[in-house]
Amino acid sequence: MIEITMISTGEEVLLGDITDTNAAWLSRYLFEQGLTMTRRVTVGDHCERLAKEIESCSLNSDIVIVNGGLGPTSDDLTAVAAAMAANVGLEQSDHWVAEMKAKYEKLNREMPAANLKQAMLPEGAELIDNPVGTACGFAIKLNRSWIFFTPGVPSEFKIMVKDQILPRLQAKYPANQSLHCFRLFTYGLSESSISDAFQHLTLPQGYEIGYRSSLPFIEVKLFAPEQGNTALTLLAEMETLLGDNIVGKQVGLIDNLASMLIQHNKKLAIVEQSTGGFVVNWLNQQPALSEYVVSASVQNTVVDTKTDMDALVKAASDQLQRLSLIPNSQIGLFSGALHDGAVTVGLITDEEKWIQHVQFKRVYSHDDQRWVIATVLLDMLRRYLQGVAIFGHYESLNRLFENHSLKLMNLQKR
């Protein structure tokens, strides 16, 4: 097995001021290429500590990827630490100086003298091109390892990994086979219940199932060494077990909704109370959805403590009826006020109306409550467009009331 280690650098990463998204991305990306990361380390902006970590990793790993610390400022110490670990000096790359100057000339700017630091590389290092920024990468051979040094800016880092580092790894380790990743995005099920549902699945050699939980969704991933009949048969079994709790295949809920709304050519009218604009803002993250929202409003409604569920459901029904009269809309969505940990949500079309009153089973933060309610509402929309049961199974919620009715009057919209 190839031993791959990643070293992330920087006080801001070590102290948690920023999330190390590069490490998460690299781990996932390499896995999909058939290369599994075996260890991750984070080191602050301390030259000697970083040098010792580089040397230590070079004794125990086949590949080491060091991320960050290649900028022009005083706390960017990675090149110096690399030279210290390799017991060599630094030398200027005239080629990279020329590249940096050319980048600045395109911007009609003169290159600051501080940027010359970015062309100082350990003696004998192999330069790795950075087509986006001014921090070149480089590679050195130390002990048993090939060590690759990359900038911390995510856009630069990812391009260099894909275009520069991965081809080198594939050439060095040709026996490793990349994996196909099939993604199923779910809502309403817990990781444990999904795991229980999958317990009788038989995974062939080289196949693996992974999970990623990000409120309110759980992404289920099938990694397969090839995209043949075995993988597709296994994927079909998984889809059957997950049922209509799948909100998207290969794409998430919003991208799936965009595709379906375009296909069905349905326009939306939305009124939000408890979600405070989360629904329409979420929809507008997908540019293709913007033109499908013809009306959206946010209402700040204070609910009397004596208000009962029947009154809330009646208010939701009245709101939905008004939504059905908005010109040029075919679907109305409503999220009611949150009261005693419960909320009424509903969907209406020209012919039918669905209302449910659901209650949280656990305590959520204010924003998380909004995410969950918005997801329930958009899941109703997804289910309607998909032609499956509108009232889904949600393990984190109790459904206190549900109603599906035909509209008594098919009023012509003004």
Return residue ranges of the chain for CATH 3.90.950.20: 253-406
Q: How do residues 112-153 score in pLDDT, each as one tens digit?
A: 999 999 999 999 999 999 999 999 999 999 999 999 999 999
How far CA 329 is from CA of 151, 267, 323, in Å, comes to 49, 5, 8
For the residues 312-336, what does the mean pLDDT come to? 93
Return residue ranges of the chain for CATH 3.30.70.2860: 180-249
Instruction: Decide if 234 contacts 207 (C-beta within 8 A).
Output: yes
Residue with tokens 């459901």: 313
Say what the alpha-carbon torsion angle 106, 108, 109, 110 is, to the nearest 10 degrees.
80
What's the CA angle centered on 214, arms 212 and 220, to 5 degrees?
30
pLDDT of 411 reads 43
pLDDT of 414 reads 38
Checking if the pLDDT of 304 tops 80, the result is: no
pLDDT of 305 reads 62
- Closest by Cα among 360, 361, 380 to 370: 360
**253-406 CATH, one of 3.40.50.2000, 2.80.10.50, 3.90.950.20, 3.30.365.10:** 3.90.950.20
Q: What is the Cα–Cα distance from 307 to 231, expressed in whole angstroms?
A: 53
pLDDT of 227 reads 66
Both structure tokens of 143: 């002990």
Q: What is the Cα–Cα distance from 31 to 25, expressed in whole angstroms?
A: 10
- Closest by Cα among 101, 145, 142, 102 to 124: 142
Q: How do residues 277-287 score in pLDDT, each as one tens digit?
A: 999 999 999 88
Number of CB atoms found within 10 A of residue 412's CB: 7
pLDDT of 410 reads 46
Please tell me the pTM assigned to this model: 0.77
Task: Point out the least confidently predicted range of 56-60, 205-209, 378-382.
Answer: 205-209
For the residues 388-409, what does the mean pLDDT come to? 89
Instruction: Decide if 270 contacts 293 (C-beta within 8 A).
Output: yes
pLDDT of 229 reads 84
pLDDT of 31 reads 86
Q: The dihedral of CA 74, 76, 79, 85: what is its sign?
A: positive
pLDDT of 308 reads 82
pLDDT of 300 reads 81
For the residues 340-364, what does the mean pLDDT come to? 95
Checking if the pLDDT of 407 tops 70, the result is: no
Above pLDDT 70, what percent of the chain?
Answer: 97
Domain 4-172 architecture: 3-Layer(aba) Sandwich (3.40)
For the residues 91-107, what does the mean pLDDT come to? 96
CATH of domain 180-249: 3.30.70.2860
**Which residues lie across from 174 on neighbouring strands?**
none
pLDDT band of residue 108 (cuts 50, 70, 90) is very high
For the residues 63-70, what does the mean pLDDT come to? 97
Q: How do residues 167-198 score in pLDDT, each as one tens digit?
A: 999 999 887 777 888 999 999 999 999 999 99
